[in-house]
């Protein structure tokens, strides 16, 4: 396959952006401008293409009635001219705050500058009561042009979108979280995908969390990037304190944040993935559908970034995209609750009081059993009606067997042991298969025999067969069709292997009973295996899944981004970034090719999977989460 030969071009998707808070001195414009220049130079050294400064950063925010002084206003405009001269040979988009006089009204504005040219001036629309003493609202200023003594016909208004390729910038001023309809919402409806917010937000106890929450919800709701910059500690402290809070977010995630209250020039840098924002908008078409609700028509100001190929990725790529990194335990408990609620509803609907579950001593069946136990406790059902069946076969080891037995005993469920060797040997004889040939028939006979046992006992006992297969296995088709592929309800259907490991670990660490905790920790330490091939002479597992299909941490990474719509070359690029300390590039390439082939060729199994609950944004249910033909070709995905 040749998908690596056509090298992925990251700079068509990613843009390095910065949020800065310079040292300022109230009304000392020359001093302020000097520090703004220092921040710009630092950003250029970090390969940044866009940098934002706080509201009124040229003058400082806390000038009071001196905003109405002609000398201050003239000096601030002179500083903008000097900044333009400084930027003439610099390929960086800069947004800086300064007052601007227009038709006998003063406006709190963002000046947008690239290569020394003012591309546009955006006035603040939501003026708080204290600012109304000096500034007018610019909300009704649209389709206007202004001139200064050094540049003519500058677009002026809130209706501006600045576009270079797929990067579409718009700008707002002040804290938006108090606005009933933030201006960023209107601008996103008109196509903006990167919002710059120049702010002067005073610090209060708990207020910083409001900013974080607003950024996360706004970027999720609008499928946009958001860069926030607020003025810092060198503002006047007559009545208020400012912390210099800097934030960069994207699509519900906080990518970068500074430590507030710093007393030096501060800059944070991250890379916005505009490609992922566009893919998200393809799935969520409401922005296009509601664009007519915007009370103005946007003007697009075109400009061009040069030397985009001079790019260095400036964001951490998480190895485990399915794992919650923030408040981990709460999220893990939430996943459990989704699984438990789903199974509880299915039991109530079917009016069944018992379940049947195959227990192997592995991760998947352990999680399914834990979920079932919690469900029975929720419904006040007798745990003895959970029929756990261990079915030793040709490859069952003492370690997994003992863990399965001991866990069932500690949890208080009913335990049955049914050996499948004899019945499988009989089946081999019936179909004329040599049991010494350890091929796919040898393995699948065992898997289907176990499923048959579970189904028959469920019929006999009036119970529901609980599926244990997980999302990773479903993606790879690493299951036996009509064997472990089949159940009556799959509680792990949208839980990938890497997340299952974290869930079981969470239970093990929270478990008060030391014996139960010890069993769970040993299950975590056991190699993933279906145990369908004979064990070695020492009784150890010979069939280790990850030696055959590859590391699940890689496959879960591939799966997450493939379902999000990323092209294969980009997935390869991100994987190499995330796992650069763990795997060589040729190993990543090998398993990525393997994943894509398996994902396409095994769709027929996913087309016939049982019901199961969705717990995260990635699911492969054919009933609406991921619709794909069973006979689709993967060839185009390798070109």
**In residues, how long is the chain?**
639
Annotated binding residue 361: yes
Q: Which long-range contacts (CB under 8 A, 24 or more apart) does 309-313 make?
A: 309/9, 309/11, 310/47, 311/10, 311/11, 311/14, 311/16, 311/47, 312/16, 312/46, 312/47, 313/10, 313/14, 313/271, 313/577
Please give the C-alpha separations between residue 99 and each of 20, 37, 66, in angstroms, as whole numbers: 19, 19, 11
Q: Is the dihedral of CA 228, 232, 236, 239 positive or negative?
A: positive
| Residues 209, 189: Cα–Cα separation, whole Å | 26
Report the candidate in 411, 367, 407 with the shortest Cα–Cα distance to residue 385. 411
Q: Which residues of 434-462 are buried (b: 16+ CB within 10 A; e: fewer)?
A: eeeebeeebbbbbbbbbbebbeebbeebe
Is 358 labeled as ligand-binding? Answer: yes
> Is 294 annotated as contributing to ligand binding?
no
Distance, in Å, from the CA atom of 316 to the CA atom of 20, rounded to the nearest integer, reads 20
Residue 369, CB-side half-sphere exposure with 13 Å CA sphere: 32
363 is in an annotated binding site: yes
Q: Is 65 annotated as ligand-binding? A: no
User: Which candidate in 47, 49, 55, 216 is catalytic?
Assistant: 55
**327 assigned to a ligand binding site:** no
**Strand, coil or helix: what is 460?**
helix
2 burial via Cβ count (<10 Å: 0-12, 13-18, 19+): exposed
| Calpha distance 599→584 (Å, rounded) | 23
Starting at the edge strand that comes first in sequence, how are the strands of the sheet with 354-358 ordered?
414-417, 386-390, 354-358, 463-467, 489-490
Buried b / exposed e over 589-619, threshold 16 CB at 10 Å, is bebbbbbbebbbbbbebbeebeebbbbbebb
365 is in an annotated binding site: yes
SS3 sequence of 348-391? HHHCCCEEEEECCCCHHHHHHHHHHHHHHHHCCCCHHHEEEEEC
Active site residue 581: no
For tokens 């960069």, the residue is: 248
Strand partners, 71: none
Catalytic entry in 6, 82, 90, 124:
124
- β-bridge mates for residue 228, sequence order: 197, 247
Could you give the angle at which helices 568-578 and 585-601 cross, rounded to 10 degrees?
Answer: 140
Is 605 flagged in the annotation as binding? yes
SS (H, E, C) 543-586: CCHHHHCCCHHHHHHHHHHHHCCCCHHHHHHHHHHHCCCCCCHH
State the pairing for strand pair 105-114/117-123.
antiparallel
Strands (E) in 421-559, as ranges, are 463-467, 489-490
534 contacts: CB under 8 Å, gap ≥ 6: 394, 395, 438, 542
CA distance linking residue 102 with residue 556, whole number of Å: 56
Which residue, 483, 612, 634, 479, is CA-closest to 568?
634
Q: Angle CA(282)–CA(565)–CA(600) in degrees, nearest 5? A: 130
d(CA 83, CA 96): 10
479 is in an annotated binding site: yes
| Residue 360 assigned to a binding site | yes
**CB count in 10 Å sphere of residue 65:** 8
- Decide if 538 is catalytic: no
How many Å apart are CA 638 and CA 237, to the nearest integer?
A: 60
Residues tagged in the binding site annotation for deamido-NAD(+): 444, 473, 478-481, 605
Residues tagged in the binding site annotation: 201, 207, 358-365, 444, 468, 473, 478-481, 605
Residues tagged in the binding site annotation for L-glutamine: 201, 207
Residues tagged in the binding site annotation for ATP: 358-365, 468
Q: Which residues are catalytic?
A: 55, 124
């Amino acid at each position: 396959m040749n998908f690596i030969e056509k090298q992925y071009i990251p700079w068509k998707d990613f843009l390095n952006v910065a949020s800065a808070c310079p040292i300022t001195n109230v009304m000392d414009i020359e001093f302020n401008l000097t520090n703004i220049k220092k921040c710009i130079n630092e950003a250029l050294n970090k390969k940044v293409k866009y940098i934002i400064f706080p509201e009124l950063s040229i003058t400082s925010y806390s000038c009071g009635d001196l905003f109405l002084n002609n000398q201050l206003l003239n000096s601030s405009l002179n500083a903008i001219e000097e900044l333009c001269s400084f930027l003439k040979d610099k390929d960086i988009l800069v947004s800086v705050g300064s007052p601007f006089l227009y038709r006998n009204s003063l406006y709190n504005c963002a000046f947008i500058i690239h290569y020394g040219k003012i591309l546009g001036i955006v006035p603040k629309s939501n003026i708080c009561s204290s600012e109304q003493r000096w500034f007018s609202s610019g909300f009704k200023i649209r389709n206007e042009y202004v001139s200064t003594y050094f540049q003519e016909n500058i677009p002026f208004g809130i209706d501006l979108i600045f576009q270079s390729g797929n990067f579409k910038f718009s700008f707002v001023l002040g804290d938006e979280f108090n606005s009933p309809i933030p201006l960023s919402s209107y601008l996103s409806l008109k196509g903006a995908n990167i919002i710059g917010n120049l702010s002067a937000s005073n610090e209060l106890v708990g207020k910083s969390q409001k900013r974080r929450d607003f950024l996360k919800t706004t970027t999720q709701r609008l499928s946009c990037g958001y860069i926030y910059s607020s003025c810092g500690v060198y503002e006047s402290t007559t009545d208020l304190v400012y912390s210099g809070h800097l934030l960069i977010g994207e699509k519900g995630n906080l990518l970068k944040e500074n430590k507030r209250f710093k007393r030096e020039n501060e800059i944070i840098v991250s890379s916005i993935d505009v490609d992922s924002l566009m893919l998200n908008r393809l799935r969520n078409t409401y922005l296009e559908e509601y664009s007519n609700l915007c009370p103005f028509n946007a003007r697009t100001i075109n400009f061009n970034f040069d030397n985009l190929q001079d790019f260095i990725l400036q964001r951490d790529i998480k190895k485990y995209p399915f794992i919650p990194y923030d408040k981990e335990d709460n999220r893990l408990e939430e996943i459990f609750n989704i699984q438990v609620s789903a199974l509880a509803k299915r039991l109530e609907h079917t009016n069944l009081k018992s379940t049947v579950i195959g227990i192997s001593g592995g991760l998947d069946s352990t999680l399914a059993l834990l979920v079932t136990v919690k469900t029975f406790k929720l419904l006040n059902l007798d745990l003895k009606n959970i029929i756990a069946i261990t079915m030793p076969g040709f490859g069952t080891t003492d370690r997994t067997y003992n863990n399965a037995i001991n866990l069932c005993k500690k949890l208080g469920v009913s335990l049955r042991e049914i050996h499948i060797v004899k019945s499988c040997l009989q089946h081999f004889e019936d179909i004329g298969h040599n049991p010494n040939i350890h091929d796919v028939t040898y393995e699948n006979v065992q898997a289907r025999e176990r499923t048959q046992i579970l189904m028959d006992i469920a019929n006999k006992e009036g119970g529901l067969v609980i599926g244990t297969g997980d999302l990773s296995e479903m993606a790879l088709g690493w299951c036996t069709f009509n064997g472990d592929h089949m159940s009556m309800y799959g509680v792990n259907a949208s839980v990938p292997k890497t997340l299952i490991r974290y869930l079981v670990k969470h239970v093990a660490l929270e478990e008060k009973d030391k014996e139960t905790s010890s069993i769970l920790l040993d299950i975590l330490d056991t190699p993933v295996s279906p145990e369908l091939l004979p064990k070695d002479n020492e009784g150890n597992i010979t069939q280790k899944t990850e030696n055959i299909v590859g590391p699940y941490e890689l496959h879960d990474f591939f799966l997450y981004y493939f379902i999000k719509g990323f092209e294969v070359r980009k997935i390869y690029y991100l994987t190499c970034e995330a796992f650069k300390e763990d795997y060589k590039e040729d190993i990543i390439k090998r398993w990525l090719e393997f994943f894509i082939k398996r994902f396409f060729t095994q769709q027929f199994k996913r087309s016939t999977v049982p019901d199961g609950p969705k717990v995260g944004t990635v699911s492969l249910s054919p009933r609406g989460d991921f619709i794909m033909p069973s006979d689709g070709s993967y060839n185009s995905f390798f070109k």
